[in-house]
């Protein structure tokens, strides 16, 4: 199995245009392919079309918030790893956020986000191999 990062497709869900552009660029620099969505509903249709390997999910968004969106994504595909990526720590107290594989509070330093993406994709490809 080819484990080069470019194999992996990340869905980035983020309503803020500037942040979306920044995170997209940074993730592309890491060698991933990235598709984006600006709210929860859009994320659901993008996910259905592109079948991402991992989702980075903002919480506070118009139209549909990230927690509700995540639950629906997981209903469609319970195996896709989701990283909650929000400016607020308080959503951790919500049980519905516990379905996420990781919870990262937004930071100008993206090291934690990148590392988490890498680890989760590695974990996923390991378990894929086990299945195969």
Partner 1 sequence: MNNPASPESPSETSSFADSPSPVDSYARPSDVHFAPTISRGARVRGQQSHLQNTVVMLLAGGQGERLYPLTRDRAKPSVPIGGNYRIIDFALSNCINSGLRRILVMTQYKSFSLQRHIQAAWELFNPVMGEYIDVIPPQQRNVKRWYQGTADAIFQNIYMLEQEKPAYVVVLSGDHIYKMDYSKMLDFHIEKGADLTMSCTKVPRAEAARFGIAATDADNRITAFVEKPTDPPTIPNDPDYSYSSMGVYIFSTEKLVRRVIQDVKQETEHDFGKNVIPRMVEDGDRVFAYEYEDENHSVSVPPGEVYWRDIGTIASYYEANMDLVKVAPQFDLYDDNWPIHRRSQPGPAARILSHGEDRVPVIVDSILSTGVIVSGARVERSIIGPRSFIHSWASVEDSILFDDVEVGRNCKIRRAIIDKHVKIPAGTTIGYDLEEDAKRFTVSPEGIVVVPKSMALT
Does residue number 109 form part of the binding site for partner 1 (CB under 8 A)?
Answer: no
Please state, in angstroms and rounded to a whole number, the distance separating the CA atoms of residues 91 and 59. Answer: 8
Instruction: Select from 2, 4, 17, 78 the one that contacts partner 1 (CB under 8 A).
Output: 78
Stretch that binds partner 1, among 5-13, 16-24, 50-58, 89-97 (CB under 8 A): 89-97
Does residue number 79 form part of the binding site for partner 1 (CB under 8 A)?
Answer: yes
Does residue number 42 form part of the binding site for partner 1 (CB under 8 A)?
Answer: no
- What is the distance, to the nearest Å, from the Cα of residue 129 to the centroid of all Cα atoms in its chain? 21
Q: Which residues contact 70 (CB under 8 A, 6 or more apart)?
A: 55, 57, 82, 84, 96, 99, 100
In this structure, what token pair is assigned to residue 125?
Answer: 């490809």
Binding site for partner 1 (CB under 8 A): 68, 71-72, 74-75, 78-79, 84, 89, 92-103, 116, 119-120
């Amino acid at each position: 199995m080819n484990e080069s990062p470019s194999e992996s497709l990340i869905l980035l869900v983020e309503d803020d245009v500037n942040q979306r552009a920044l995170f997209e660029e940074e993730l592309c620099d890491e060698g991933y392919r990235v598709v984006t969505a600006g709210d929860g509903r859009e994320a659901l249709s993008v996910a259905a079309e592109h079948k991402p390997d991992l989702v980075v999910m903002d919480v506070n968004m118009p139209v549909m918030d990230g927690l509700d969106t995540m639950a629906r994504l997981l209903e469609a595909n319970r195996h896709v790893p989701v990283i909650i990526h929000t400016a607020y720590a308080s959503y951790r107290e919500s049980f519905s956020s516990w379905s996420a594989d990781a919870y990262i509070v937004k930071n100008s330093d993206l090291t934690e986000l990148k590392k988490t993406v890498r680890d989760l994709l590695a974990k996923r490809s390991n378990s894929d191999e086990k299945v195969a």
